[in-house]
Amino acid sequence: MAVALGAALLLAPAVSSAAEIVVKHAQGETTLPGVPSKVLVLDIPSLDTLDALGVDVAGVPGSNLPPYLSKYADEKYTKVGTLFEPDYEAVNAAGADLMIIGGRSAAKYPDLSGMLPTIDMTIDPAAYTDNVKANVVKLGEVFGKQAEATELTARLDEKLTALKGLAADAGTAMILVTTGGKVGAYGPASRVGWLHKEIDFKPVADDIDDRFHGGDVVSYEYILEANPDWIFVIDRDAAVGQVAEGQAAKQILDNELVAQTNAWKNGHVVYLDPASAYIVSSGYNAINTLVDQVSEAVSAAK
C-alpha cells in the first residue's frame, strides 16, 4: 500500500505496489521504494521539522544553522551545500535515497531530481500555518512517524487557537525588519504575515510592499504616524550573522519618534527570535518559538 502525501492535511492515501510511498509535493510527485534510510536535507525548515519528529538525517546545509540546530554542524553530518546551492559532488558521493529541498533551494529541483529521489517541501504562504502542519504530517508519513506528527500538530493547533484569542483585542500591529541600518515593514503577505492573516493581529496598513528581504522601507515618521499598539521586530542581520556595529535592531529602533508610539510606551515591542523568523520560518520548532514569544508578550500585557 502506498501513502499519497499531499499539501492538505486530509489528503487520502493512494494504493500502489508494496512498501512504496508516493509523495505529492510542490513540484510534482516522487515515488520512494520504502521508508528512506539515508536522507539529505537542504531545506532548513524541513530539517527543523525532522528534528522535532526525531528523524535522523545524513546530510545538511553547511551554513546558516540556527543555534538550536547547531548539533548538525558536527562533522558526522555531510555538508551538502548552502540554503540556495547544492554541492553536487557531495550529494553524489553521499549515496542517499532521498533529498529534501524547499524555498531557497527549490529552483534546484530539476538538477537534484535527476540524481536521486527529491521532494520539494516549499509551502504555500496563502495558508501558512495549515501548510506547516501539513508538512509535519507529510514527513511523518514518509518516515513512519505518524503518531509523533499527530501529537505535534495537535500541540501547535492548541497554541495557535490560544494566540488568536489573545490577538482579538490586542489592537493594531506592525511587523518591522531591520537590515543594514534601515527599517522595513512586513505586511500580511510576508514570511511572518500569518500573524496578520491567520492570527488576526490588525495591520496598520494594507498596502505594504514586502516583496524584498528588507521589507517595504519605512521612516521613523511613518512608524509614529501608524502608531501601532504592538511592534514585532525581525533583526535580519542577526539572523544571517552579519550585524554591523550600532546596527542591531534594538539600537536602530531606539529613536525618539518610535518612542512616542503606543507600542513603545506600553512595552509592546517584541524582538522575534531572528533565526526562527527569518531563516527557518516554517519549521515546526521555529513557528512554535514565534508563537510562544508573541503569546507570552501579549498575555503579560493583559
The residues spanned by each domain of the chain are 4-149, 165-300
- As given in the structure block, the three cell numbers for residue 294 are 508573541
Q: Which CATH class is domain 4-149?
A: alpha beta
Rounded Cα gap, residues 66 and 260, in angstroms = 34
Phi, psi at 211, each rounded to 5°: -70, -20
* pLDDT higher than threshold 80 for residue 14: no
Strands (E), 166-290: 172-179, 182-186, 202-203, 216-217, 230-235, 269-271
**Distances in whole angstroms, Cα of residue 46 to Cα of each of 60, 122, 137, 206, 251:** 10, 9, 12, 31, 33
Phi, psi at 230, each rounded to 5°: -135, 145
Query: CA angle, 108 as apex, 241 and 276 as ends, to 5°?
Result: 30
In 3D space, the residue among 179, 180, 208 whose CA is nearest the CA of residue 195 turns out to be: 208
Looking at residue 214, its pLDDT comes to 64
DSSP 11: P
Neighbours of 73 (CB within 10 A): 13
Rounded Cα gap, residues 57 and 103, in angstroms = 19
Mean pLDDT of 68-94: 97
In 3D space, the residue among 291, 293, 280 whose CA is nearest the CA of residue 48 turns out to be: 280
Neighbours of 115 (CB within 10 A): 14
The yes or no reply on domain 165-300 and CATH 3.10.580.10 is: no
Rounded Cα gap, residues 195 and 188, in angstroms = 8
Q: Which residues is 119 bridged to in the sheet?
A: 100
* pLDDT higher than threshold 70 for residue 282: yes
Mean pLDDT of 146-173: 98
Rounded Cα gap, residues 58 and 196, in angstroms = 37
Mean pLDDT of 65-83: 97
Rounded Cα gap, residues 122 and 46, in angstroms = 9
Q: Could you report the per-residue pLDDT of 192-239, keeping only the tens digit for each?
A: 999 999 999 999 988 787 665 667 889 999 999 999 999 999 999 999
Mean pLDDT of 244-263: 95
* pLDDT higher than threshold 50 for residue 10: no
SS3 of 104-161: the string is HHHHHHHHHHCCCCEEECCCCHHHHHHHHHHHHHHHHHHCCCHHHHHHHHHHHHHHHH
Concatenate the DSSP letters of all residues of 236-261 into one string.
HHHHTT-PPTT-SHHHHT--TTGGGS
Rounded Cα gap, residues 124 and 187, in angstroms = 16
Fold agreement (4-149, 165-300): yes
Mean pLDDT of 114-118: 98
In 3D space, the residue among 106, 113, 136 whose CA is nearest the CA of residue 8 turns out to be: 136
* pLDDT higher than threshold 70 for residue 16: no
